[in-house]
Structure formats: C-alpha cells, structure tokens
Amino acid sequence: AAEKTESTGGKIVMVTNAEFPPYEYHENDTIVGIDADIARAVAEQMGVELEIQDMAFDSLIPAIQSGKADFAAAGMTVNEDRLKNVDFTDTYAQAAQVIIVKTDSPIASPDDLTGKKIGVQTGTTGDIYADDIENAEVQRFNKGMEAVMALNQGKIDAVIIDREPAKVFVKENEGLKILDEAFTEEEYAIAVKKGNTELLEKMNAAIKELKESGELQKIVDKYITA
C-alpha cells in the first residue's frame, strides 16, 4: 500500500488587494505586509502551503463565496452587511477610518465634509460612510493611492481611508495631513466562506496562538513603527 504522509493536505488560497500598505502591498514580485505575514504564520501552523492572489477589493467576498479562494485577509473591516455573506475570524487589529486633506484645507472635522468631493476606494467601509454624508459627491477609485493622488491634484477635497495606509500615503505625498478626529473605529478580521467552520476554527486557533506567543505583535512592529 502507498505510504500515507501526515501532511494535512495541500494548499490554502488567500485573496487580497495588495494596494493597502502596511497590510498588503507589492515589494518586487511578492506580496508583503502584516496580513501576508499573518497568513503565512497561520498556514504554517495549519501545515498547509499558502498561495496569495491579488484582486480588486470588491471582488474579495465574491471570490470566497464562489469557492475560488479559501479566505480573504485584506485589512477587512467586520460589519453587519459583510457578515451576511461571509464568516469572520476573531479580530486581529484595531482600525479606524480617517480623513486626509491638504494641509491648507478648511476641512477640520468630519462635520465639515458636508457637500464636499470625497474620494474613497470602491467597496470599502470608507465608501459606505462617505455615501451617508449629506450632499457629498463621492468619487470611487480602484486604489486608495489613486484617491490620494486626486486629492493632491485638487480634484477632490478629502479622502476617507483606513488609518495605517493613510499614514503611509501622507508620508509619501507632501502637503497632506490626517485630521485628528477619526471618522469611525473598526476592527479587522479574516473572512472565510459562510459555514466553513472547520477552516474558521483552525484559523481562530492559529490567531489565538499568534496573539499569545507575541508573534502577532512582532509582525505588526515589523511594519508599523510608532
């Protein structure tokens, strides 16, 4: 009889949108970042090989639903609407939606966004919140960085985006700042197909282990310097 190895079997496919530093971005030919490192550590604990595929943010949940991918790790905020379509692991990061404006902008708080031109990344929570702002004209971009460029060029008045990528984009572009007052507080988790409790439980166990061993904090510290 053929010898059975104790390998739990093969490969796990992650999808992400690698336009979201420091959580996921391209470095040379690889996708690196906090989510990529967490996923690698989780896969290692599960004894499976990890494959990472890059796609538009609003394609991630459909890719999981169709079974094209096993999970999405993409700085994805847990919200009620998404919970109807996917299951989420335990959360692994605190996050926030913040507002980026030009340094000389009259916009000083979220209340000043009424009637303004606001740039967001399509399908993100920033997109959802911007939609609720009275009389705002929402411009949607495929990449957060494209929204920031439009702001830089004076085509829009503000960008609503997650805090950590906001910090990276503001550092890379002169003349921009992040408002002190955040728009919302949120939490990130990994999304799996609805009902895939086997994977969900394995991932939760791995995340718990990463938290308790301090490995998760090490990964964060590698990419975010205070």
- Name the site residues for ligand GLN (rule: CB under 6 A): 17, 20, 57, 74-77, 121, 124-125, 162
Residue (45 or 163) nearer to ligand GLN, CB? 163
| Residue 34 C-alpha from the chain's centroid | 10
Distance of closest approach, residue 17 Cβ to ligand GLN, in angstroms: 5
| Shortest reach from residue 19's CB to ligand GLN, in Å | 7
When CB distances to ligand GLN are compared, the closest residue is: 124
Cβ-Cβ contacts under 8 Å for 225 (sequence gap 6 or more): none
Complex with ligand GLN: residue 169 or 207, whichever CB lies closer: 169
Radius of gyration, alpha carbons of the chain: 19
Tokens of 43: 């896969």
Question: Which residues fall within 8 angstroms of residue 211, CB to CB, at 6 or more apart?
Answer: 92
Q: Which two tokens mark 162? A: 């997650």
Residue 106 CB, nearest approach to ligand GLN (Å): 26
Nearer to ligand GLN (CB atom), residue 79 or residue 213: 79
Which residues are bridge partners to 121 per DSSP? 141
Output 55 or 205, the one with its CB closest to ligand GLN: 55
Q: What are the residues whose beta carbons fall under 8 Å from the beta carbon of 153, sequence distance 6 or more?
A: none
Tell the smallest beta-carbon distance from residue 2 to ligand GLN (Å): 43
